[in-house]
């Protein structure tokens, strides 16, 4: 069972939770996703998801900027989805997934 399967399974369904888990694994873990967001100018957005306060929203275009359009396409291919659908899914569910994985307001070690 992956990191988010049990946590978000009831919220977005098992398939959605499995997709998020595969995405995070393909990125090398949550730490690497945080680094990518910070490197591409979305560190404050990511910090809002990790912190105990409200989550800042993110758009599909910002997901592409934060991760890189080519990376989104590559990941979508690996996951068997259209790139637009993956970006839309991540924009909708990644903030909650990160927030849920960091209940104490900090990244797990």
Show the tokens assigned to 98. 């990160």
pLDDT at 12 over 50: no
| 84: containing domain | 29-101
pLDDT tens per residue across span 64-91: 999 999 988 988 888 788 899 889 988 9
Dist CA 48 CA 40 (whole Å): 16
Q: Which of 102, 63, 58 is nearest to 85 (CA)?
A: 63
Q: For residues 71-87, b (16+ Cβ closer than 10 Å) or e, as one string?
A: ebbebbeeeeeebeebb
Domain count, the chain: 1
Band of residue 37 on the pLDDT scale cut at 50, 70, 90: very high
The answer to the question of residue 14 being in a domain is no
pTM exceeding the 0.95 threshold for the entire prediction? no
SS3 content of the chain, % helix, strand, coil (to 5): 70, 0, 30
The answer to the question of residue 107 being in a domain is no
What CATH number has the domain bearing residue 65? Answer: 1.10.10.690
The answer to the question of residue 71 being in a domain is yes
């Amino acid at each position: 069972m992956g990191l988010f399967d049990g946590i978000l399974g009831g919220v977005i369904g098992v398939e959605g939770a499995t997709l998020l888990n595969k995405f995070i694994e393909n990125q090398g873990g949550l730490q690497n996703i945080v680094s990518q967001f910070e490197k591409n100018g979305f560190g404050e957005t990511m910090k809002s998801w990790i912190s105990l306060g409200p989550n800042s929203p993110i758009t599909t275009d910002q997901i592409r900027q934060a991760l890189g359009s080519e990376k989104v396409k590559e990941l979508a291919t690996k996951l068997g989805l259209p790139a637009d659908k993956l970006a839309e899914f991540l924009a909708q569910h990644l903030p909650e997934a990160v927030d849920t994985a960091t209940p104490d307001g900090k990244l797990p070690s």
